[in-house]
Amino acid sequence: MAARRFDPRPQLVAEARAFVREHTRGLSRAEDIELAASELATNAIRHAMTPFELSIHVASQQVRLEVSDASPLIPTLTESAGR
C-alpha cells in the first residue's frame, strides 16, 4: 500500500495521476486506474474542498484506490450525478 496527502488545488490532480502511475506500471489497465484516480481527486477537490489522501493497494493484477478527506458531510448521490 502507498498513500499520499494532497492539498485541495486543481493543479494537483496531475500529481495524483503521477502518483498512481508510479504504482501501476506494467498493469494491464494502468491507464484506466490512472483515470479513476483523477476522477476521485477531482471530486475530493470539488466537493470536500479539504486536503485529501489518495491511497493505492496493488496485489497482483488487483488494485484498490481509496480517497479520504476531512469533510464532515456524508456523500450523497444527486440526480445530476446519476446521469
Q: Please compute the mean of the pLDDT values over residues 67-82 and round it to a whole number.
A: 81
Determine the Cα angle at 81 with ends 30 and 6, to 5°: 50
Q: How far apart are CA 28 and CA 75, in angstroms?
A: 31
What was the pLDDT predicted at 75?
A: 78
pLDDT in tens, 3-51: 999 999 999 999 999 999 999 998 989 999 999 999 999 999 999 999 9
- pTM of the predicted model as reported, rounded to 2 decimal places: 0.84
Cα atoms in the 13 Å half-sphere on the side-chain side of 7: 2
